[in-house]
Structure 1
Amino acid sequence: MNKSLAAHAAAAAAALSAGTAVVATRFVIGETDPISLVFYRYLISVICFAPILPMLWPRAGLDAIAYGKIAGFGILFFVLFPWTFNAALQYNPAARGAVGLATIPIQTLLVATAFGRERLKASKAMGVLLAFSGIAVAFGAAAFARSDGSYLAGDGLMLLSGLCAAISSVFGRSTLMRHGPLFVTALAMAFAVTALAPFVVVKGAGAVLPVFSFRGWMAILFLGSVAGALQFSLYMWALRWLPPTTTTLYLTLNPITAMVLGIALLGERLTLELVVGMMLVLVGILVGSGLHSAWTNSATAKT
């Protein structure tokens, strides 16, 4: 398997893991607040990285500019992105949040094209739109249902969340390529935890060991390890080898996976809209990611 094909697999695995993280979050969110949940999740991730971080540290060290870039990446991707996403869900239903999440590849494509980081190709644009359409079909009935409340604040926060992910994916790629995805991920998470710590202490959650039920602790440990350190390592490694728009395109698997797991684990109902939406998402990824080209190149290399 060549690196391009492996990167596609890593991006898909990260997105599927993110879908499981949504379900795990639903198990524990009632026992804490969004900021504290993000803090404890990434604290566990940093603990997972701690044994290998010294081995990953560049021999030449880092200058102030490199520290600043990694810190900025950590604040943007591991603090502002999850905080605005969680805050948006306080105003909007989860289905509408799923549609908002699907705007990340669109925003990434726009940011990357506007700043000359990627060329705008018809196949990539078509793939992004197909994947977004799949999410809209799967969640549209619930996402766009009439409501007495206003979704303006939630929609704004969700779009801001997507913009944070888009900017960090586009502009963080050079840092990942220079210093390595594992090292950058680990150090960026450490900066994020450091930035979040004062807020958690003020809330009173950081003064003593948090109190969770057994199920809550299992969910937190899963979110910090498998859906934290491992998931983001896979995503950052994929971003190291794939264009930002291609990597974020796989994120449209996230809400689909969450809904499938909700059916399997939480007794939710399978709908025709989900099946059609899933097919559109898969076709969109196939068209927009260039996966077929990577597979063909890999097969050609073996012959």
Structure 2
Amino acid sequence: MQPLRPRPGLATDLVLMGVALVWGSSYLVAKDLTLAAPVLVVLALRYVISAVALGLVCRGTRTPLPRRPELAAGVLLGLTQAAVLTLETFGVSGTTATNAGLIISLTVVLTPLLDGVWRRSRMPAPFFAATALAVVGVALLVSGDGFRAPGWGDGLMLAAAVVRAVHVSLIGRLTAGRSSNSLALTAVQAAVGAVALSAAAAPALGTAVPRLPLSAWAQLVYLALACTVFAFLAQTWAIRRTSPSRASLLMGTEPVWAVLVGVSLGGERLTLVAAVGAVLVVAATYYGQHVERVHRLGSVALPEPAEAARRLTSA
């Protein structure tokens, strides 16, 4: 009897699932870190570690220095990415990691909407139905045991989803038709974020850093190396070995992992109403993504969207 062999592509699928897992877990890790240090300090240190690591990777792979257009795009994208992570980290400190991971997944439906506005191209009616369903899901998710106004943390996570959609659309517009080096572009973004957030956190860095426990440093290294450096390199390797649709499907499980990590490791609780909302959010984002893909493939006028570019950013 022939021994069983792994099917072709299994390693690629596992790598992409690993990316989704670390991104989904990042919300709980970031929430824990905000209990140990001010949010801006957490962000500054995360960015500095990421920038140093990416710089070493660029040097080790002999990545060419970014050209002027790449540098200009990287600076702008670095600022928008820093804004996204700032809103996310402040937001997750005021809500649950479960809610944060699910609300931020709305980027999947917000990005095509924004891109359609910029391109003056109307999305099909089923896409708007998916968007409405996602909004209903978020309303149920944040309502807990009964309907109530969203908390400030939920509001910041929603703002982060909107700004991330802007960031993703900018990536598509700034890199369209250009042979940009993705690694160099990401390293520039990390460097810009490190400078900007270190400047913002400067008043608190001197007192907060010496007081950080070893566990907090381990969490920072995890966010920087696993959720940024590993995720970027892994997805770049894996996407070249599978179809964009399959990669998008596997990495789209990020909110599912956020729920599992938040409930199992974070001790968070999902009420029945909130659980229904979570299912609606995940189902709506998957359906909206499917509608957008079919619409894109059926339209000759529209170029490749920024869906793959979205994965250049970290959680």
TM-score (norm 2): 0.68
* Deviation of the 1:219 alpha carbon: 1.2
The CA deviation at 1:251 is: 8.4
Opposite residue 263 of structure 1, the aligned amino acid is V
Deviation of 1:113 after TM superposition, in Å, equals 0.3
- CA offsets 1:201-240 (integer angstroms, 9 cap, x no match): 232x158954322321221111111122223556788999
User: In the alignment, is the contact (CA less than 8 A) between 1:95 and 1:142 conserved in 2?
Assistant: no
Aligned residue in 1 for 2:56: 51
User: What amino acid is the match of 2:72?
Assistant: G
Match of 2:88 in 1: 85
Contact 2:25/2:258 (8 A) holds in 1? yes
The SS at the match of 1:31 is: coil
Query: Per-residue CA shift, 1:42-83, capped at 9, x if unaligned?
Result: 222222222221335337x502x3311111101101x11121
Map residues 42-191 of structure 1 onto 2, 5 A cutoff.
Answer: 42-54=47-59, 55=61, 57-58=63-64, 61-63=66-68, 65-77=69-81, 79-88=82-91, 100-116=103-119, 120-137=123-140, 139-142=141-144, 145-146=147-148, 157-173=156-172, 174-175=174-175, 178-191=179-192
Partner of 1:40: 45
Q: Write the letter of the residue equivalent to 1:140.
A: V
The residue number in structure 1 matching 2:266 is: 266
Q: 2:270, 2:45 → 1: CA distance? A: 33
Structure with the higher helix share, 1 or 2: 1
SS of the aligned residue for 1:39 comes to: helix
Q: Quick one: distance in 2 between partners of 1:266 and 1:20?
A: 10
- Matched residue count: 279
CA contact (8 A) 1:133 1:277 kept: yes
Task: Name the counterpart of 1:211.
Answer: 211
SS at match of 1:18: helix
Partners of 1:46 and 1:193 in 2: CA distance? 7
Matches of 2:64 and 2:122 in 1, distance apart? 32
Counterparts of 2:113 and 2:202 in 1: how far apart (Å)? 38
Q: Shift in Å at residue 84 of structure 1?
A: 2.4
Cα-to-partner distance string for 1:89-131 (whole Å, 9 max, x where unaligned): 5666767656653443343122100111876244544444445
Alpha-carbon contact 1:250-1:285 (below 8 Å) kept: no
Greater mean alpha carbon deviation, residues 34-43 or residues 46-55: 46-55
CA distance in 2, matches of 1:161, 1:220: 20
- Gaps of at least 5 residues in structure 1 are 295-303
The aligned residue for residue 298 of structure 1 is none
Q: Does 1:289 align with 2:289?
A: yes
Q: Give, in angstroms, the shift of residue 276 of structure 1.
A: 3.8
**Secondary structure at the residue paired with 1:168?**
helix
- Structure 2 residue aligned with 1:27, among 32, 57, 61? 32
The CA distance in 1 between the partners of 2:197 and 2:212, in whole Å, is 19
Aligned-CA RMSD value: 4.3
Q: TM-score, normalised by structure 1?
A: 0.71
Q: Which runs of 5+ in 2 are unaligned?
A: 1-6, 295-315
Instruction: Give the distance between the partners of 2:266 and 2:122, measured in 1 at CA.
Output: 42
Counterpart Cα distance in 1 of 2:182 and 2:197: 22
Taking a change above 3 Å as real, the CA distance of residues 161 and 191 of structure 1, as seen in their structure-2 partners, is same
* Inter-partner Cα distance in structure 2 for 1:201 and 1:269: 36
Query: What secondary structure, in the 3-state scheme, does the structure 2 residue paired with 1:178 have?
Result: coil
Task: Summarize the Cα distance change of 1:206–1:238 in structure 2 as closer, same or farther, 3 Å threshold.
Answer: farther
